Each structure stands twice: as structure tokens, then as C-alpha cells.
Amino acid sequence: MSTLETVFLDAGGVLVHPNWERVSDTLRRHGVAIAPEALARADLLAKRTIDTPEPPKVASDAERGWLYFNLLLEKAGLARSARTDAAVVDLGAYHREHNLWEHVPAEVKPSLERLRGVGLRLAVVSNANGTVERMFERLGLLRFFDRVFDSQVEGVEKPDPRFFRIALEGAGARAETTLHVGDLYYVDVTGARSAGLRAALIDPAGLYEGADCPRYASLAELVEDVLREMGPPPRDPRTVPRSS
């Protein structure tokens, strides 16, 4: 960490999360009752199920959304029905326009402030639908980042090492001094490593026990570790008192 210059951060699962209140309300309008907290717990299980060495093949972000939300509902104990399908259609329409991953945990902005405060370059590197930069501006997150790399915009997505190389070049970063932070092992960790980057995993539910990478329960915990490993900033010689 002492040679760290740049941090790449995934968007969903690291910086932003689905607006579970909106998801719960949408399901309720279609006659399906489930609490936001239950959806949040099911989300972690659904993502872990999809995150495999050979992920499900999907043709588009919309298809990925159907797969993810139907698996989410299954993990939450809800059977797929015409009502859940109608709710997913409504959620998909909102996501395409605004991005449903619009909840910013309280730890995120202070954590980004701390990383910027020690002079680290920050970039978003996310598999997404082309709305991340606009959504981050709406959420007040864009000011923390030097660049935003959205897979829909770049035409390639993680774990393809080409996406990380595009981000390295665009951010003016070097692989050997860059850490990528994600929430999916086979997407984020293996993808980053294939491009020569270090990688860490945000794993709040402890679903990746035994994984061969640093794991953290939260972004705030990772930031504490990064700053501790980097050590104190160099002292400005102008502030050192001279001996008499």
C-alpha cells in the first residue's frame, strides 16, 4: 500500500446500492409485500450465486437485470409471478432512465474524502448501463473522482482485462500502483489481477470466506487499512522546528 497512487472503485455494491425502499414500494403497488431489509439481505445472496468462474451468459444489461431481480426475489422467498414480472418491468424502466443503484451509504462520502485527502487518484470502474456518471452527479459523488468508466460507454466490461487497461490509460494510472475495490470476486478480483492490478473485496456478509484477497466488511474498514498501510504523509520541512 505504501506505493499506492490510484484506487479504482466499483459502483454497485461498493459506493451505491439499490434503492430498496423504491423496490419494495414498486412490488407493493403490484400486490407483492416485502420489506426493504429483506430485499437487502437477499441481494447479497443473489449476487454471490451469480458470481461464479463461468457467470450466466447474458446478451444485454436488460437481460442481466431480469436474471438478477428474479434471483433476488427467489432468495427473498418470493415465487415468480405475473405480479413480480410487472414490478420488474417498472423497475427496469426506472433503472434505464435514472439508475436504481441510487442509495449512498453514510460511510461513502467520508471514506472518499479521506482517500482524496492523502492525494490518491480515484476512478469509478463499473459494469453498468451508461448512466453512472449522470447518476453520480445527481447523488453528489462525481466531485470525488478523476474519471468514471462505465462498461456500456467503453464497450467492454469486467472481468475483461481490456476494461481495466482502458481505465488505467484514461486515468493516467499505472497497474502496479493501482488497487481495484469491488464486491464480486470473479468479476472484480480476477478481472483486476488479469490486468496486473491489486484487488480487494467488500464482503459485508462474509460470503467469500477463504478467498485469496483482502476482504472488508465495509468501505470505511478498507479505507482505515489503506491509510494505516500508507503511513503518515511526509512532513513538510518548513514545519519542522529548528534546534537552537
Q: Determine, yes or no, domain membership for 53.
A: yes
Amino acid at 162: R
Instruction: State the Cα–Cα distance between residues 166 and 188, nearest whole angstrom.
Output: 15
Last residue of a domain, one of 36, 71, 98: 98
Range of weakest confidence among 128-142, 174-188, 229-243: 229-243
Instruction: State the Cα–Cα distance between residues 179 and 199, nearest whole angstrom.
Output: 5
108 & 180 share domain = yes
How high is the pLDDT of residue 55? 73
Please give the average per-residue pLDDT across 115-127, as a whole number: 97
| pLDDT, tens digit (0-9, with 9 covering 90-100), for 59-92 | 566 677 778 899 999 999 999 999 999 999 999 9
Q: Are 185 and 48 in contact (CB under 8 A)?
A: no
Range of weakest confidence among 56-60, 142-146, 178-182: 56-60
- CA 121 distance to own-chain centroid: 17
Please give the average per-residue pLDDT across 204-228, as a whole number: 96
Please give the average per-residue pLDDT across 183-196, as a whole number: 97
How high is the pLDDT of residue 66? 79
37 & 148 share domain = no
pLDDT for 221 beyond 90: yes
Q: Determine, yes or no, domain membership for 206.
A: yes
116 & 224 share domain = yes
CB-based contacts of 90: which residues, under 8 Å, 6+ apart?
26, 29, 30
Q: What are phi and psi of 225, to 5 degrees?
A: -65, -45
Range of the domain at 94: 20-98
Please tell me which residue, 50 or 59, carries the higher pLDDT value. Answer: 50
pLDDT for 186 beyond 80: yes
Residue 220 pLDDT level (bands cut at 50, 70, 90): very high
How high is the pLDDT of residue 33? 96
87 & 107 share domain = no
Q: What is the pTM of this model?
A: 0.91
Q: Determine, yes or no, domain membership for 238.
A: no
How high is the pLDDT of residue 65? 74
Instruction: Strand 198-202: give its sheet, edge to edge.
Output: 147-150, 121-126, 6-9, 178-182, 198-202, 215-216
